A = this chain, B = another copy of it.
Amino acid sequence: MIELSKAEFEVLDALWLNHPATASQIIERLSDDKQWHEKTIKTLLGRLVKKGALSFKKDGRQYIYTPCMERAEYTLKESQNFIERFFSGRIAPLVSGFAKSEQLSQQDINELKKVIDDWEKQQK
């Protein structure tokens, strides 16, 4: 699995929002939430390319970046990894931990029920 740092992920996330995109578009998007210097984001883009998370095409002197994988694919792998490390690969204990500490809302419960429902339909 490609290992991304927190900051790298956030840059990639800005690209996932809408891609392909140039560095300046990504910088623009991130400027709302982050106080990152433009140079910082360029560095992170370079590291993402080096790690194989992004590819790019040249357009004049700019690069046009595209993610090398989909967000869902990446977050699934991260999730599996996380759940493996902290909960021996089982997902219910994570949810249970949330429930016990009052972290679940009625909406979360409804969404979870729907996920279960869909899964069961899928099965039959």
Contacts and interface: CB of A to CB of B under 8 A. Distances in A.
Interface string A73-90: 001101110100111001
Contacts of A76: 97-98, 101, 103
A68 interface: no
Given A75-B97, A97-B75, A92 B120 contact: no
Interface string A81-111: 0100111001110111111110110001101
Contacts of A95: 91, 95, 112, 115
Contacts of A91: 94-95, 98, 104, 108, 111-112
Interface in A1-29: 6, 9
Which secondary structure dominates where chain A touches chain B?
helix
Given A103-B80, A108-B90, A96 B113 contact: no
Contact of A104 (B82, B103, B109, B119): B119
Given A80-B98, A80-B103, 6 more contacts: A91-B98, A91-B111, A92-B108, A95-B95, A112-B116, A116-B116
